[in-house]
């Protein structure tokens, strides 16, 4: 397929030239290829050049980034003698750099650098490490090559790995102040609602046997208790935006993190701060500490714990208040005065149906197995009997009769059905509505989602550092990357992986034309334009620079 020109003479002797889109196809009768016209663009002196440009741009979507850039630049600049030099990813960097500027992060870091009289480009190095963690997680050594060859960061053509390490040392040295100022900047820009603070912990392990003051063996949420680890605490707002993180020794229990968390947040201007966390941190000492200085909490309680509050919440009769969709709740007040406790029993009707169906399937399966076992002449000490009685799921519904026969324990089935679709929450704040309590606890999932993003998308592991200080700083960089990613997700309603993939398709080409160097972008896709619109970011100019 090609574009051709044909000429035709008129009766008056003038010549008219036409432009056509043609395709050669072999004619079996003639035995050779014959040109067939697919589309006629009209006379060359009346040719719609813009129409041709649109056609070329449409075709260029299926070309490689290099060929597409070269074609687009030739169209825009009207030159054919182009020398293509390089192509780098730009869209992801542009998005992060714009957000970095809107949050005034460069100003916050540069202000402290001036006070400390640092001469190295620390702020740019920090941005490069955070952007790398967001876009293409790699080691600090690989970041140098990434900056030099793969992406275009304005004002940063190359960077030495030693500059990155010095920037990490600076970042850790000023962590407390920087984190506080960054939080205030984020709060101002996004108008964050921080009267509810969600807190939870996770762990990350290291492929080494060596323990340090920070790397210790402990309870591993990654199921790797055989390796040393560190414990990471994360506080996020009701919108899922991280506001602060903590790094604890690997053998630190969840309940031992509360005192440190609350004391660190003093002076952060959080207004009424209510800690929301799961049942793993509900020791009485922790709850009492949280209430000091007017603090409050929303915590999960274990329904099957046997505690008086859990039993009374289940046995107390009364209507449920509708909360949202399949959620409803009712509350119970135990005790009087300052030591009273406010419990909320939450019911999820959809989850209740699902658990009931699962139990019915278990009982049906058990009935079939028991029918075969009880029909045997020898029942006691039979291998099948022992396996069934010791099974973690089936065993609890089995009881043995005096004659050795097995039977389904209907009383146990009825007891377990009381817990279907229900969970218990306790709060110390009497001013919160039922909806605030229930939705506040349900939104603890935002913290868990943040941890999943941190460990998978941003690749918290593997951690290539051995020194405790560098480990702490690496996690700080991951926290900053997580903050940017979650802000983008909050604004766009899309996952960071989806946004990153789409924006990375925006490429920057470098061309040499008649002694001039031109930096030009591929054309923005509708999807890229929509992402920038949702973030209220101005689209980048097609011609980035002419030197």
Cβ atoms of 434 and 344 closer than 8 Å? yes
Beta strands 274-277 and 296-301: pairing type? parallel
Give the pLDDT confidence score for residue 478 in this predicted structure. 92
Cβ atoms of 8 and 21 closer than 8 Å? no
Which residues pair with residue 8 across a beta bridge?
16
The pLDDT tens digits of the residues spanning 382-421 come to 677 777 778 888 888 888 877 777 888 888 888 888 889 9
Cβ atoms of 296 and 408 closer than 8 Å? no
Cβ atoms of 259 and 424 closer than 8 Å? no
**Which residue blocks in 307-348 are alpha helix, DSSP H?**
308-315
Burial class (CB in 10 A: 0-12, 13-18, 19+), 389: middle
**Per-residue exposure over 176-208, b if at least 16 CB sit within 10 Å of its own CB, e if not:** eebbbbbbebbbeebebebbbbbbbbbbbbbee
Q: Tell me the HSE value of 53 on the side-chain side, using a 13 A CA sphere.
A: 11
Q: Give the C-alpha separation, 390 to 514, whole Å.
A: 82
For the record, the structure tokens of 308 come out as 């008086």
**Would you call the peptide bond into 462 cis, given omega within 30 degrees of 0 as the criterion?**
yes
* H/E segment holding residue 113: helix 105-116
DSSP code for 421: T
Cα angle, residue 224 at apex, residues 219 and 226 outer, rounded to 5°: 85
**Per-residue exposure over 426-459, b if at least 16 CB sit within 10 Å of its own CB, e if not:** bbbbeebebebbbebbbbbebbebbbebbbebbe
Looking at the chain, the number of H-run helices and the number of E-run strands are 19, 18
Q: Give the C-alpha separation, 431 to 315, whole Å.
A: 25
The pLDDT tens digits of the residues spanning 174-225 come to 888 888 888 888 888 777 766 677 788 888 888 887 889 999 999 888 888 8
Cβ atoms of 305 and 292 closer than 8 Å? no
Cα pseudo-dihedral 438, 443, 445, 446, rounded to 10: -170
Residues of the chain with pLDDT under 50: 115, 118
Cβ atoms of 71 and 56 closer than 8 Å? yes
Neighbour count for residue 304 (Cβ, 10 Å): 12
Q: Give the C-alpha separation, 41 to 44, whole Å.
A: 8
Q: Give the C-alpha separation, 532 to 538, whole Å.
A: 7
**Which residue blocks in 198-327 are alpha helix, DSSP H?**
258-264, 284-290, 308-315
**How far is residue 132 from each of residues 93, 126, 455, measured CA to CA in Å?**
9, 10, 15
Q: Which residue has the tokens 């793993």?
A: 280
- Domain coordinates in residue numbering, the chain: 1-47, 306-431
| Terminal Cα distance for the chain, rounded | 37
């Amino acid at each position: 397929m090609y574009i051709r020109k044909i000429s035709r003479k008129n009766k008056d002797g003038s010549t008219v030239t036409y432009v056509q889109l043609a395709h050669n196809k072999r004619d079996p009768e003639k035995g050779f290829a014959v040109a067939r016209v697919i589309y006629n663009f009209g006379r060359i002196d009346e040719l719609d050049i813009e129409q041709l440009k649109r056609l070329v741009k449409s075709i260029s979507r299926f070309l490689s980034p290099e060929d597409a850039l070269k074609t687009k630049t030739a169209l825009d600049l009207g030159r054919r003698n182009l020398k293509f030099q390089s192509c780098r990813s730009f869209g992801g960097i542009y998005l992060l750099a714009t957000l970095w500027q809107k949050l005034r992060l460069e100003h916050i870091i540069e202000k402290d650098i001036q006070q400390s009289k640092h001469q190295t480009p620390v702020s740019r190095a920090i941005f490069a490490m955070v952007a790398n963690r967001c876009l293409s997680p790699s080691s600090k050594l690989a970041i140098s090559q990434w900056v030099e060859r793969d992406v275009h960061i304005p004002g940063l053509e190359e960077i030495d790995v030693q500059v990155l390490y010095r920037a990490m040392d600076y970042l850790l040295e000023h962590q407390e102040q920087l984190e506080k100022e960054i939080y205030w900047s984020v709060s101002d820009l996004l108008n964050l609602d921080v009267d509810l603070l969600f807190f939870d912990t996770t762990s990350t392990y290291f492929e080494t046997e060596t323990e340090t003051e920070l790397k210790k063996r402990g309870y591993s949420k990654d199921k790797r208790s055989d390796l040393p680890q560190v414990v990471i605490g994360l506080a996020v707002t009701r919108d899922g935006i991280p506001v602060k993180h903590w790094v604890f020794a690997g053998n630190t229990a969840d309940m031992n993190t509360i005192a440190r968390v609350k004391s660190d947040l003093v002076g952060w201007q959080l207004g009424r701060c209510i800690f929301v966390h799961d049942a793993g941190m509900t020791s009485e000492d922790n709850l009492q500490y949280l209430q000091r200085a007017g603090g409050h909490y929303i915590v999960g309680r274990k329904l099957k714990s046997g505690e008086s509050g859990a039993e009374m919440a289940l046995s107390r009769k009364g209507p449920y208040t509708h909360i949202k969709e399949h959620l409803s709740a009712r509350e119970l007040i135990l005790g009087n005065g300052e030591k009273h406790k406010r419990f909320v029993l939450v019911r999820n009707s959809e989850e209740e149906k699902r658990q009931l169906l699962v139990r019915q399937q278990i009982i049906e399966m058990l009935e079939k197995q028991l029918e075969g076992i009880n029909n045997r002449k020898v029942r006691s000490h039979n291998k099948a009997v022992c396996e069934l009685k010791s099974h973690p799921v089936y065993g609890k519904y089995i009881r043995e009769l005096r004659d050795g026969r097995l039977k389904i324990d209907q009383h146990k089935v009825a007891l377990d059905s009381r817990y279907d679709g229900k969970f218990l929450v306790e709060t110390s704040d009497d001013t919160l509505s039922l909806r605030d309590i229930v939705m506040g606890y349900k939104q603890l999932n935002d913290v868990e989602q943040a941890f999943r993003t941190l460990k998978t998308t941003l690749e918290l592991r593997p951690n290539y550092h051995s020194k405790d200080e560098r480990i702490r700083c690496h996690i700080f960089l991951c926290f900053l990357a997580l903050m940017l990613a979650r802000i983008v997700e909050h604004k766009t309603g899309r996952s960071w992986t989806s946004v990153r993939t789409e924006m990375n398709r925006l490429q920057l080409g470098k061309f040499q034309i008649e002694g001039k160097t031109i930096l030009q972008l591929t054309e923005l896709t509708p999807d890229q334009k929509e992402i920038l619109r949702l973030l209220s970011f101005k689209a980048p100019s097609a011609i980035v620079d002419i030197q």
